[in-house]
Amino acid sequence: MQKKLVIVESPAKAKTIEKFLGKDYQVLSSYGHIRDLKAKEFSVDIEHDYTPQYVIPADKRKVVAELKKASAGAEEVLLASDEDREGEAIAWHLAETLGLEPEKTQRIVFHEITKNAILHALNHPRSININLVNAQQARRVLDRMVGFEVSPILWRKVKPALSAGRVQSVAVRLLVEREREIQQFVSEASYRVTAHFLLSDGQTLLKTELNRRLKNREEARDFLQFCRTAEFVVDDISTKPFRKSPPPPFTTSTLQQEAARKLGFSVSQTMIVAQRLYESGCITYMRTDSLNLSDLALGASRETITGTYGEKYYRFRKYQTKSKGAQEAHEAIRPTDMSAPEIHGSVQDKKLYDLIYKRTLACQMADAELERTTITIGIGGKKEKFTATGEVIQFDGFLHVYMESVDEDAEKEQENGLLPPVALNETPGLSEMTAVERFTQRPPRYTEATLVRRLEELGIGRPSTYAPTIQTIQNREYVVRGDRPGKERTYGILALKDGQITSADKTEVVGADRNKLLPTDIGIVVNDFLVDYFPDVMDYNFTASVEKEFDAIAEGELAWTRALDKFYKFFHPIVEATSAVKTVHKVGERQVGIDPQSGEPVFVKIGRYGPIAQIGQGSPDNKDAPKPRFASLMKGQSIETITLEETLKLFDLPRSAGEFEGDEITVGLGRFGPYIRFRDKFISIPKTLNPHTISDEEAIRLIREKRAREAERIIKQFEEEPGLEVLNGRYGAYIACQGVNYRIPKDMKPDELTLEACRKIIELSPTKTGKSRKTGKRNEKGAVSK
DNA sequence: CAGTGAGCGAGCTTCCGCTTGACTT
């Protein structure tokens, strides 16, 4: 008997739906888009109304063949891709590619995977909305125009294999501009005064803070001086109730942010784990911007909350999706089964599931009710007051299961919990008062997760692209994830104790950053170039404004080719003009000065392999002219800020560092930093030593140390199997076999291992499930992760 | 995770959004 064929986007979804539908239905998956513009060609016919040239990518041929076969034998085909622009386009491409007859083809949509929703969808079929499809085509073609016309300009003017795009270039811009704000930031100092008062019981201390910051040290000193003899009185004790509401359920971006803060996951890590949870049926779809929860989920949450915590903890809530450009094709991210607080799986799986479970529960729970008490202490003869605030939870509500984390950047003054009992008009004694110099804080650097949040706020990118975009800007080396050391600064501190005022200067390290996104020289140069020549595309509102056009297309108010024509007629001339600009110098090139030795100019710029310094211009016509000399910049140096002196130093290497045992030692700079070379062996120079100033003795010492390590390296070798060795590495003993390394179980002694024992370890070791490390591809350099 | 170590005039790159897989006669 002929079945009805339902086509959805995701195979996991197909499996679930098949269970809901009877055996009259076959459910298959398209695995996303099945057609696209050619990967390596422009594929848009500018001359003929911007006709896109679509192809079926090689990795989709098999799926398409299967779908073709299944649809040919089906009684009816139901296109059930997502209810958004991309989903509509997928349905259209399917109809075109599979050659579906209109009379036996229908379009259905549901945005939650529940039996009711699906049955409802089956009863309300429609046809493909071509306006929505055209909005997607416009989006696709515009992105191709921007990407494929601007990127080649970068290849010529900056460096090969770079890229530009509507989303990635703006992401880099955010980082570059934030970095400049940080550079230009001037902090302002003020004195924060705190006082500890001794209450009437003669024991309890009340910690308070002055309600005003003092301008400078003089003012602080005067203030403390005054307080030496001042009288203090408890002016006011007030208690105010307030409430806290739970955060909304997770979307892709909030899940990424919270998993980064609470679990330390990278954005891509979160998505990999979430994908696993989705495929095993534990959670709903993980790429979504919707805050909607199905009635089924709401009911189950209610049951769980009232059953576990009582009626009092429950409160029905509906959340409105507010992010720009949200397309509501799915539900929010939630557990599929609210009665399962735990799941089987890896530690990571469990942690992320736990987070999703609790967040989902919390969003249907009652407000927390708190009380904030403020004690105010007046100073006789002054209008300033000291205050102490304490918060007490009267009813925990949703806080019982879930507390949202905040970014650690905000250096929050800690709030006291419960305050000690104090009487109005009590006159506490001053135990100790301090005035500490504090500074306004520079803006924080972005993390992967905070960048995603910003992009979402601006409506740039989609849930399915946040993680890949962040990968791309790192692959292009526009951005690195890394640390920045803090700066030391001194601050003043004044203390009043036992009637004595003391003052001191202390130092602290501030502004240290770990695992933040940092723009590279390449990122900065490319960004400045693009902002200069393509200000409209680089505008933070560019996406939002083209989205308005796409909406008009979707509503049938605007022809998609007309919208593209308008954009291209404006955009392409800029591309032409920019390409035509003849520059003697490369983009981003800067002359830092004149080399005093040769009298030649000294430049820094982006070279084929990254930032480089150059002395002299050379002359292609004159072979006798002196050739330019090159030297790479060191890690942490920037072509924006490097000085002439620092640049010239780069040319000191390689240099000789004396002789050892009759052979010369040279000091050089390699891909991985400074090194010593001795008889064709390379030894890294530790960060504590400077390659420019390293002495002959220090170099010899490093060689000796290296030899010692070398001698200790081989723990065991076996005659029977020369390819297998027990070695001593940076992280202890390991077994090396045919280029692969294996860890040795902790309970075994490396020097006592037999060949059989080694073979057994190798056999038992879990084979890497991930992709092999040797990817044959040339372009993906595999971001240097630490 | 476990060692690596140039060069700057020749090989081809790139976009954004959907979605996971990874060979037979």
Mean pLDDT of A355-360: 98
> Coil, strand, or helix at residue A489?
strand
Tell me the sheet residues that pair with A369: A243, A395
Query: How much is the pLDDT for A772?
Result: 35
Q: Which of A255, A259, A330, A261 is nearest to A290 (CA)?
A: A330
| Residues 664-723 of A, Cβ under 7 A from nucleic strand B | 668-675, 682-684
Residue A619: pLDDT band (50, 70, 90) is: low
CB A377 within 8 A of CB A352: no
| Cα separation, A252 vs A463, whole angstroms | 6
Nearest protein residue to nucleotide B15, judged by CA and C1' positions: A147
Amino acid identity, residue A300?
Answer: A
Determine if residue A474 is left, alpha or beta; phi over 0 gives left, psi from -120 to 50 gives alpha, anything else beta: alpha
| Cα separation, A124 vs A114, whole angstroms | 16
Amino acid identity, residue A553?
Answer: I
Encode pLDDT of A402-454 as tens digits: 998 887 655 555 566 789 999 999 999 999 999 999 999 999 999 999 999 99
CB A606 within 8 A of CB A588: yes
Query: How much is the pLDDT for A701?
Result: 82
Q: How far is the CA of A580 from the C1' of B13 (A)?
A: 20
| A654: preceding bond cis by omega (within 30 degrees) | yes
Strands A655-660 and A629-632: unpaired
Protein-covered nucleotides of chain B (CB closer than 7 Å) are: 1-9, 12-22
Residue A599: pLDDT band (50, 70, 90) is: confident
Encode pLDDT of A734-773 as tens digits: 777 766 677 777 777 777 778 777 777 777 665 543 333 3
3-state secondary structure A284-351: CCCCCCCCCCCHHHHHHHHHHHHHHHCHHHECCCCCCCCCCCCCCCCCCECECCCCCCCCCCCHHHHH
Residue A781: pLDDT band (50, 70, 90) is: very low
Least confident of A113-122, A267-276, A532-541, A747-756: A747-756
| Residues 569-608 of A, Cβ under 7 A from nucleic strand B | 607-608
Q: Which of A554, A571, A542, A562 is nearest to A324 (CA)?
A: A542
Taking each helix axis as running N to C, give the angle between helix A521-533 and helix A168-184, from 0 to 180 degrees, rounded to the nearest 10: 110
Q: Which of A136, A463, A132, A458 is nearest to A284 (CA)?
A: A463
Q: Which of A323, A305, A406, A309 is nearest to A363 (CA)?
A: A305
Judged against a pLDDT cut of 50, whether residue A115 lies above it is answered with yes
Average pLDDT value for chain A: 89
Amino acid identity, residue A290?
Answer: S
Query: How much is the pLDDT for A373?
Result: 95
Taking each helix axis as running N to C, give the angle between helix A130-157 and helix A85-97, from 0 to 180 degrees, rounded to the nearest 10: 100
| Cα separation, A249 vs A456, whole angstroms | 16
Q: How far apart are the first and last CA of chain A?
A: 58
| Cα separation, A486 vs A182, whole angstroms | 13
Strands A4-8 and A25-29: parallel
Q: How far is the CA of A548 from the C1' of B16 (A)?
A: 17
CB A601 within 8 A of CB A592: no
Query: How much is the pLDDT for A782?
Result: 33
Residue A94: pLDDT band (50, 70, 90) is: very high
> For the range A196-200, what are the long-range contacts, defined as Cβ-Cβ under 8 Å and sequence gap of 24 or more?
A196/A430, A196/A431, A196/A432, A196/A433, A197/A232, A197/A377, A197/A386, A197/A428, A197/A429, A197/A430, A197/A431, A198/A428, A198/A429, A198/A430, A198/A431, A199/A420, A199/A422, A199/A426, A199/A428, A200/A423, A200/A426, A200/A428
* Residue A285 is among the residues annotated as catalytic for this protein: yes
pLDDT-above-90 percentage for chain A:
67
Cα-atom radius of gyration of chain A, to the nearest Å? 33
Encode pLDDT of A299-349 as tens digits: 999 999 999 999 999 999 999 887 655 566 789 999 999 999 999 999 999
Highest-confidence segment of A403-412, A548-557, A685-694:
A548-557
Tell me the sheet residues that pair with A667: A655, A676
Characterize A68-81 residue by residue with b for buried, 16 or more Cβ atoms within 10 angstroms of its Cβ, and e for exposed: eebbeebebbbbbb
CB A744 within 8 A of CB A750: yes
CB A456 within 8 A of CB A482: no
Nucleotide nearest to A770 (CA to C1'): B22
Judged against a pLDDT cut of 50, whether residue A778 lies above it is answered with no
| Cα separation, A647 vs A634, whole angstroms | 10
Cβ-in-10-Å burial (0-12, 13-18, 19+) of A322 comes to exposed
Q: In this structure, is the CB of residue A482 within 7 Å of any atom belonging to strand B?
A: no
∠ CA A17-A20-A23 to the nearest 5 degrees? 95
| Residues 441-460 of A, Cβ under 7 A from nucleic strand B | 460
Query: How much is the pLDDT for A783?
Result: 32
Q: Which of A152, A158, A154 is nearest to A610 (CA)?
A: A158
Mean pLDDT of A593-600: 83
Quick one: DSSP state of residue A283?
B
pLDDT-above-70 percentage for chain A:
92
Query: Which phi and psi angles does A509 have, rounded to 5°?
Result: -105, 125
Encode pLDDT of A27-46 as tens digits: 999 999 999 999 999 999 99
Query: How much is the pLDDT for A785?
Result: 31
Mean pLDDT of A86-98: 97
Q: How far is the CA of A254 from the C1' of B15 (A)?
A: 26
Query: How much is the pLDDT for A770?
Result: 35
Nearest protein residue to nucleotide B18, judged by CA and C1' positions: A32
Q: In this structure, is the CB of residue A609 within 7 Å of any atom belonging to strand B?
A: yes
Identify the active-site residue in A50, A191, A285, A734.
A285
